[in-house]
Amino acid sequence: MGLKVYADRMSQPSRAIIIFCKMNQIDFEEVRIDISKGQHRTPEFEKINPMKQVPAIIDGRFKLFESHAILRYLACSFPSVSDHWYPNDLTSRAKIDSILDWHHANLRRGAMTYVFNSALAPALGFSLNAQAAEEGKKLLSSSLLKIKSFWLKGNSRFLLGNAQPSIADLSLVCELMQLEVVDSEERQRVLEPHQEIRDWMENVKRATHPHFLEVHGILYKVKARLESRRNRVSPKL
Amino acid sequence: MGLKVYADRTSQPSRTIIIFCKMNQIDFEEVKIDLSKGQHRTPEFEKINPMKKVPAIVDGRFKLFESHAILRYLACSFPSVSDHWYPNDLTSRAKIDSILDWHHANLRQGAGTYVFHGAMAPAFGLPLNAQVAEQGKKLMLSSLSKIELFWLRGDSRFLLGNSQPSIADLSLVCELMELEVVDSEERERILEPHQKIRDWMENVKRATHPHFLEVHGILYELKARLESRRNKVSTNL
């Protein structure tokens, strides 16, 4: 019994796992868990992941959740994975671990809070919250500044000046892609001051083509739906 | 030039690194960065860690921040470290990674928020915030329940049913120790329903004796200072 990946492609960390597997020719079965339909709260899925979150994997009889733990496990377990994703060299690996750890309370918290409270909440049965969105946006912006200043110094193609992407690049850029569902002008205002961030996102997209585009397909569909709903409410003057 | 650990012992992740090094006979120089005096914001320290946070390490010319990344690096780099801290076996290691990742947005966010906004803030010249503290408390309580249900099932001495502690045990228990600075009756009310948590904390303390007690000394001093301040305020009524 091969690798099963339980995912919702609307979930940023789910997308990172799927793209990683496809890029590295890891055979897997994608099992869709639709968050908007509450499928993560079924007793069946709770047996897979008691935290009731995606992504989660089963490899043989081994179950695992938390996307960074999954990425590390896949990188170390499958011989087809190229070294640049999660290098064997201890100091290179530690630097990537550092970014992955920092991510939780910084970029992820900021971006998720902002996107959820300004755009996505209604799709999940919650209401928007402008104040929470604003706090998220502050943390998002300061996180983007830090990424720029520390990890993308001097025309880096990828984080840490690496010539090829690591699991940190993939995880963080998938997070940033969630901004696609926010109002387009708002999104532009957030990213406009950050040329290095935009270049870096393009580099990751290109390096993981065509899987990146294909896996993000659902996000563009949701974006279109939300935009049309916003236009109906307040048509552009 | 050996290992330098930049730490403030009132910081939970700082204590984790120090105890880990002492338990594993890793030679290091502890450099105190006093957060209450703003020493993390000096230009000198910014060169060590541009994120201006503790802990951080310098090993030779290699700099690293984020306590979990540091723990993984030390466990893999120093031959004196016993395997149970961060096992070589990939699935055992992945399970520990999973807990370390989960920690950021769950126990750490909950307990950290509750303790800071409910008790610690005045030590840094900031006001308490009961509403924010209450939100933190909710998250902390639900995190404690999850730890008990998933990782301390049955008669587990340590997380995942392990018979010896891992870096996940050390990191999470050091986080919980911060509760010592909260009002004693409050702290008892929080931990009273969680026998498994209390037993687990005792197991970790015993397994890392005497270093655990010694390294937490400053916390008990801080607890006494905050308690006396609380008593002064309420006797003014």
Q: Write the ipTM.
A: 0.95
Q: Is the pLDDT of residue B14 over 50?
A: yes
Dist CA A157 CA A163 (whole Å): 6
Per the CB < 8 A criterion, the answer to whether B111 and B133 are in contact is no
Rounded to 10 degrees, the C-alpha dihedral B134/B139/B144/B145 comes to 110
Inter-chain residue contact B73 with A50, CB threshold 8 Å: no
State how far Cα A183 lies from the chain centre.
19
CA distance linking residue A38 with residue B8, whole number of Å: 43
What pLDDT is stored for residue A180 in this prediction? Answer: 95
Task: Give the type of residue at A134.
Answer: E
Sign of CA dihedral A122, A170, B160, B113: negative
CA angle B131, B134, B140 (to 5 degrees): 150
- Name residue, tokens 């050996």: B2
Residues of chain A positioned with their CB less than 8 A from the CB of B76: 90
Percent of chain A with pLDDT over 90: 90
Closest of B9, B5, B85, B50 to residue A147, by C-alpha? B50
Say if the Cβ atoms of B68 and A101 lie within 8 Å: yes
Q: What is the pLDDT of residue A226?
A: 86
Considering only the beta carbons, identify the residue of B50, B68, B93 that sits closest to A97.
B68
Q: Is the pLDDT of residue A1 over 80?
A: no
B227 versus A55: the higher-pLDDT residue is: A55
pLDDT at A102 over 50: yes
pLDDT at B178 over 50: yes
Pairing of strands B56-59, B3-7: antiparallel
What is the pLDDT averaged over residues A11-30? 98
Residues B170-200 as b/e (b if ≥16 CB within 10 A, e otherwise) read bbbbbbbbbbbbbeeeebeebeeebebbeeb
- Quick one: pLDDT at residue B237? 47
pLDDT band at A155 (very low <50, low <70, confident <90, very high): confident
Contact A72/B97, CB-based, under 8 Å?
A: yes
- What mean pLDDT is reported for chain B? 95
- With contact defined as beta carbons under 8 Å apart, do B212 and B167 qualify? no
Alpha-carbon distance A236 to nearest alpha carbon in chain B (angstroms)? 38
CA-CA distance, B157 to B87, in Å (whole number)?
Answer: 17
Please indicate whether, in this complex, the C-beta atoms of B62 and A149 are within 8 angstroms of each other.
no
Distance to chain B for A167, nearest Cα, Å: 14
Identify residues of B whose CB sits under 8 angstroms from chain A CBs.
50-51, 62, 64-70, 72-73, 76-77, 90-91, 93-95, 97-98, 100-102, 104-105, 108-109, 146, 149-150
User: How does strand A56-59 pair with strand A3-7?
Assistant: antiparallel
Does A69 contact B101 at a Cβ distance shorter than 8 Å?
yes
Give the burial class of A93: count Cβ atoms within 10 A of its Cβ; 0-12 exposed, 13-18 middle, 19 or more buried: buried
Residues on chain B touching A13 (C-beta within 8 angstroms): none
